[in-house]
Structures are given as structure tokens and as C-alpha cells.
Amino acid sequence: MAGLGNPGPEYSRTRHNVGALVTARLGERLGASFRKARFVPLFVAEAKHTDTPLLLTSPGTWMNVSGPGIASVAGRRHVPVERVIAVHDEIDLPFGALRVKKGGSTAGHHGLDSMVEAFRSPDFYRVRIGVGRPARREHNVGHVLNAFSKHEREEVDVLIEDAADAVLSLIEEGLEATQSRFNRGGVAT
């Protein structure tokens, strides 16, 4: 599982880091400790859910160039692209929306672009977390790199828990059951 985000405390609670926040939450829930991976800018933790071994990852470099590290660790651990789950922010979904899918377009998300290029395939699962879009397109970068508003913060922790549950559901129950259970629209802001 790859929780996309940017490193450093200044980005830790931003919209762009919801994927990394989900990974950290899963690590806490499963009692896993993250460590720096050898030779690549990536943090990894080994965990188990039921009897399934999980490899949780979070970038140690900018999200937009994180794909090679994720693909390298997946390759060394013999994890095929079809078993990879990317968790990421999605400005094309309203804040609070959650969508689970496999493959498809990256919709211009540079972290996903990096993964597709590194894996040479778009055929990984995605847990897409809606962070909303600013009123003006030229504000997209500032929007995702800013912290959640006070009103949004009240909902973010629930959203992170739900996304973590969706990851575990994908592993246990598969795509269709997970989509039925977790796909939803956003919350009113």
C-alpha cells in the first residue's frame, strides 16, 4: 500500500498528504513501525491483517517523483502491480468523497503519473480521497499544499479512518464489495 504525500512537517496535515496520513493510521492500527527503506527515498512498515502480510509505504521524497521508490520496493518484495493500492488526494472529488477503483486515468495527478511510469502500468488499485477543488484552476497547487480548513478538520479524521478501512476491505473482500461499502459523495462545506 502506497500512501502518497510529501515529506516534512510543513506538509504533514495538508490536503496533498491524506494518503500518507492513511498509511500512518494503518501503521498505528496494525502495530507497525516505519523505517527508512534501503537505497530508495521511502519509508516502509511490515504489518499483517488477518493472515495477509502488508507492506505499508510512504514517500521520503516529493510525491511527484515517488513512483520509482515505490516500484523498486514492490519489485524487491515480489508485489505485482495488480496488488498495489495507492491512497491519494483527489481534487476532482468534493471534500469528503471517497472512491475506490482499479486502473484508469491519473487525471493529471503527478504522484499517480510517477507510479504509472515506474510500474509501466496503471493497473493498481486507488483509494481516492476527495479534497475539493478551488474556485479557480490556477489555485490548485496552493489548495492541495494548504492545511485543511477548521471546518474540514472536523471531518478529516473520520475520512482517514474510512479510507484505512477501505484499504483493508480491498484486501479482504475485493473491489466490488469495497466500492459498494465505501464509495460515497462529499460532505457539505
151 belongs to the catalytic site: no
From the list 16, 88, 109, 143, the catalytic residue is 16
The β-bridge partners of 49 are 52
| DSSP calls for the chain | -EE----SGGGTTBGGGHHHHHHHHHHHHHT---EEPSSSSEEEEEEEETTEEEEEEEESS-GGG-HHHHHHHHHHTT--GGG-EEEEEETTS-TT-EEEEES---TT-HHHHHHHHHHT---SEEEEEE----SSGGGHHHHHHSBPPHHHHHHHHHHHHHHHHHHHHHHHH-HHHHHHHH-B-----
Cα torsion for 134, 144, 182, 127, to the nearest 10°?
130
Catalytic amino acids?
16
